[in-house]
Amino acid sequence: MALILENFLIRKRADSLPAGSSGYAVRIPSVFLFRVADGAEIRGVLKQREEEKEITLILEKETCDDFLHISAEDWDDTFTEGRANFKLNEAFQDGKRTLLYEKRDVITSPVHSCRITSKR
């Protein structure tokens, strides 16, 4: 099942970036990806305005918040800094594919903070 991020802010980061990062990232509470290792590639869909694209994000683990860096090969001029929705399906780490959630979709947004909403 998927991790659905509604209305999250894409920002440009200037500090140290993981290899393959476009420099654009989304900050999320660490609780949502606690089982996924630092540097894992997470695959899903980015939707901003009417544009939608399959993307790969690179996970950077931090203490309270994690950063999902949009890969350089997936970032293009159709997207901008600002609000977007994500549907993240799976992680690739240590050569293995892992679903992010096994039993149901998990939906969150900055409005909910760390609250997990069950499937609609």
pLDDT for 34-48, tens place per residue? 889 999 999 999 999
Domain that holds residue 88: 3-106
Segment 63-117, tens digit of pLDDT: 889 999 999 999 988 899 999 999 999 999 988 999 998 888 888 888 765 555 5
Cβ atoms of residues 67 and 18 within 8 Å: no
pTM for this model (two decimals): 0.88
Number of domains in the chain: 1
Q: Does residue 54 sit within a domain? A: yes
Q: Report if residue 18 sits inside a domain.
A: yes
Residue 119 lies in a domain: no
- Say if CB 103 and CB 118 are below 8 A apart: no
Kindly state whether residue 101 falls inside one of the protein's structural domains.
yes
Within a domain: residue 118? no
29 domain residue, yes or no: yes
Amino acid at 73: E
Which CATH number does the domain housing residue 49 bear?
2.40.30
